[in-house]
């Protein structure tokens, strides 16, 4: 009996405990009774200082495309990019065999054509005529030990006189495609003439090659001899060019194509391709034997941006009409300092940041919808120090690189702004402190800046509503 009672009793306990109300359901009732132990403030009055810096050593090798061309920019001055590259042999180039099996049929020069495929990216005005000229290099493109690519400031001596040149109109979208078929009929390579950008250049260099082929010269049969014969070339934009654009490398890539006819009538061609990566002479592995060289003349820009020379220098926004500049290719970054953010720690007993956003506006009138557009590239943030070293890239909570977000208000265009979520960064400063020289670099991702066209001008007039602001929602624990 007693056992029975005990068992009944314990089972009853179990039964009744299981019919308790859930602890964690939401209840609105009583919300007005509770007095606050915390207060939540939005604070956006932090001092935000800005400057412009120019980073060195921007890698311009190894991308699957290359930037080429130039434009004139009201704020950034003259900007141009030249393309240095070796030219592959594309296999032994020898006399042909005719249909009857007769060997060593001589070749007749037809034309020398540059073939390139722009991709759709461009910056500047494509309605103007652009020019391109081809110059032989006087030295071999050779990489220093341990280096697999080149930086944007690198140059190599070359002939002043071009071995070829041409003018064209850039149609980035149309010229980017290969037309391989018409209907279901495949067009043979030799008959394809309308796709990409095809520019006939001077004959002289083509004649030289054909003559060597007909003389059975082994320069065109051995890759090393070919390299000794032809160090490489540089593609230069004309001084009046108005667009910076991108050529694809790889497939379809850039070629110098030599068209010829066999004695007897058949047409043929030989491609000297631009190769993305080539084996290193005397070393293991591949290396990039081509690169862009960015040139920018900023001496007559309104804010005299030519004043920045060394990477460790900074040009304060106070000295540049309260503006900060970012530019791909050249390597301009906006440097942003928020020196007093730690003062949040003086509020209440403690507290925490629920959200902290850096907000900045592109200078009104510095961009438009057609020629000088707002960046299409991602905008990254780096933690930096006095010497403008990139200490680390900021990441989001999932570890992905932090990007600026463009908040576009189509109704009120001038109120559109960029924002960067700095919540974790600011919380870390509040917990761990920051040095006086700690700052952020805002600009295009460093790993691809040598291949980035865009630019932007950021407003930071301390008296303007459009200044750079740190908008912080802070919980104060009283």
Partner 1 sequence: MWNVRMNTNFFNSTGKITALLILGLLLITSNVFSQNNTSSPYSYFGLGERMQNMNGNSAAMGGVSYGYKRGDVLNLSNPASLSSIDSLKFHFNIGTTFKFSKLNQGDKSDHFNDFNLSRIAFGFKVSHRYGTALSISPYSSLGYDITKRDKILGDSRSVIRSLLGTGGLNQFVWSNGVQLSKDLSLGVNGIYLFGNNTRSEDVVIEGGASTVYSGKTELISKGLYFNLALQYERTFGDYKINFGGMYQPNISVDAKKITSVYVSNSSASRFEDEDRGTFDVPESFGVGFGLNKGKHLWFGGDYTHEKWSGTRIFDEATDLVNRDKFSLGMEYNANDGYARKFIKKMTYRMGGFYDNGYIKVGGNNIDSYGLSLGLGIPMAQQKGMLNIAVEFGSTGTLNNNMVREDYTRVTIDFNLFETWFVKRKYQ
Which of 20, 145, 410, 463: binder of partner 1 (CB under 8 A)? Answer: 20
User: 311: which residues sit within 8 A by CB, 6+ positions away?
Assistant: 53, 54, 55, 56, 387, 388
1 binds partner 1 (CB under 8 A): yes
Separation of alpha carbons 179 and 399, rounded Å? 42
Residue 264 backbone dihedrals phi, psi, to 5 degrees: 115, -20
Nearest CA among 187, 186, 209 for reference residue 259:
209
17 binds partner 1 (CB under 8 A): yes
Per-residue string for binding with partner 1, 319-358, x by CB under 8 A?
A: ------------------------------xxxxxxx---
Shorter beta-carbon distance to partner 1: residue 30 or 144: 30
Q: Which stretch binds partner 1 (CB under 8 A): 68-76, 202-210, 332-340, 419-427?
A: 419-427
Nearest CA among 363, 393, 364 for reference residue 378:
393
Report in angstroms how near the CB of residue 49 gets to partner 1 at its nearest. 23
419 binds partner 1 (CB under 8 A): no
24 binds partner 1 (CB under 8 A): yes
16 binds partner 1 (CB under 8 A): yes
**Beta pairing class for 243-248 and 65-73:** antiparallel
428 binds partner 1 (CB under 8 A): yes
CA dist 43 → 5, 271, 338, 357, 418 (Å): 65, 63, 13, 11, 18
Shorter beta-carbon distance to partner 1: residue 27 or 412: 27
Identify the H or E element spanning 204.
helix 204-214
DSSP summary character for residue 395: B
32 binds partner 1 (CB under 8 A): yes
Report in angstroms how near the CB of residue 334 gets to partner 1 at its nearest. 25
User: 159: which residues sit within 8 A by CB, 6+ positions away?
Assistant: 135, 136, 137, 138
410 binds partner 1 (CB under 8 A): no
Q: Which stretch binds partner 1 (CB under 8 A): 39-47, 49-57, 169-177, 205-213?
A: 39-47
User: 34: which residues sit within 8 A by CB, 6+ positions away?
Assistant: none
CA-based R_g, the chain, Å: 31
Shorter beta-carbon distance to partner 1: residue 143 or 475: 475
Per-residue string for binding with partner 1, 40-79, x by CB under 8 A?
A: xxxx------------------------------------
Q: Which stretch binds partner 1 (CB under 8 A): 30-38, 228-236, 251-259, 283-291?
A: 30-38
416 binds partner 1 (CB under 8 A): no
36 binds partner 1 (CB under 8 A): yes
CA dist 19 → 5, 16, 29, 169, 383 (Å): 21, 5, 21, 79, 54
To 5 degrees, how large is the angle CA 418–CA 42–CA 48? 50
For the chain, the helix, strand and coil percentages under 3-state DSSP, each to the nearest 5? 15, 35, 45
30 binds partner 1 (CB under 8 A): yes
Report in angstroms how near the CB of residue 1 gets to partner 1 at its nearest. 8
Q: Count the residues of the shown chain that bind partner 1, applying the rule CB under 8 A.
A: 50
Report in angstroms how near the CB of residue 426 gets to partner 1 at its nearest. 10
Residues that bind partner 1 (CB under 8 A): 1-2, 9-10, 12-13, 16-21, 23-34, 36-43, 349-355, 397, 423-424, 427-428, 430-432, 473, 475, 477
């Amino acid at each position: 009996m007693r056992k029975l009672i005990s068992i009944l009793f314990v089972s009853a306990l179990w039964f009744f405990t299981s019919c308790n109300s859930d602890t964690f359901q939401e209840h609105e009732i009583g919300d007005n009774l509770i007095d606050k132990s915390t207060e939540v403030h939005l604070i956006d009055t932090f001092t935000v200082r800005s400057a412009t810096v120019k980073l060195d050593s921007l890698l311009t090798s190894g991308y699957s495309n290359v930037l080429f061309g130039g434009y004139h920019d009201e704020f950034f001055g003259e900007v141009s990019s030249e393309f240095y590259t070796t030219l592959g042999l594309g296999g032994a180039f020898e006399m042909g065999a005719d249909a009857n099996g007769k060997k060593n049929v001589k070749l007749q020069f037809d034309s020398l054509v540059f073939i390139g495929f722009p991709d759709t990216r461009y910056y500047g005005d494509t309605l103007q005529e652009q020019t391109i000229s081809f110059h032989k290099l006087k030295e071999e493109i050779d990489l220093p030990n341990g280096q697999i690519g080149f930086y944007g400031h690198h140059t190599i001596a070359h002939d002043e006189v071009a071995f070829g040149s041409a003018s064209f109109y850039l149609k980035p979208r149309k010229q980017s495609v290969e037309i391989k078929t018409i209907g279901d009929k495949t067009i043979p390579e030799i008959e394809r003439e309308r796709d990409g950008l095809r520019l006939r250049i001077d004959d002289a260099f083509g004649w030289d090659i054909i003559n060597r082929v007909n003389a059975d010269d082994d320069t065109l049969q051995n890759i090393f001899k070919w390299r000794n014969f032809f160090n490489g070339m540089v593609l230069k934009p004309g001084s009046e060019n108005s667009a910076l654009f991108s050529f694809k490398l790889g497939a379809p890539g850039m070629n110098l194509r030599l068209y010829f006819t066999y004695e007897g009538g058949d047409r043929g061609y030989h491609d000297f391709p631009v190769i993305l990566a080539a084996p290193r002479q005397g070393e293991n592995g591949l290396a990039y034997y081509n690169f862009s060289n960015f040139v920018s003349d900023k001496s007559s820009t309104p804010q005299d941006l030519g004043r920045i020379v060394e990477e460790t220098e900074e040009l304060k926004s106070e000295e540049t009409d309260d503006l900060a500049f970012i530019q791909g290719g050249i390597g301009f970054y906006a440097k942003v300092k928020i020196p007093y953010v730690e003062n949040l720690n003086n509020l209440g007993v403690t507290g925490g940041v629920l959200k902290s956003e850096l907000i900045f506006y592109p200078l009104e009138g510095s961009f438009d919808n057609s020629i000088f557009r707002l960046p299409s590239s991602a905008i990254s943030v780096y933690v930096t120090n006095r010497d403008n070293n990139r200490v680390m890239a900021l990441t989001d909570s999932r570890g992905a690189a932090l990007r600026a977000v463009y908040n576009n208000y189509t109704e009120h265009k001038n109120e559109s702004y960029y924002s960067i979520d700095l919540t974790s960064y600011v919380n870390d400063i509040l917990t761990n402190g920051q040095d006086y020289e700690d700052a952020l670099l805002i600009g295009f991702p460093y790993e691809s800046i040598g291949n980035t066209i865009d630019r932007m001008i950021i407003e930071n007039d301390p008296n303007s509503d459009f200044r750079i602001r740190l908008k912080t929602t802070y919980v104060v624990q009283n």
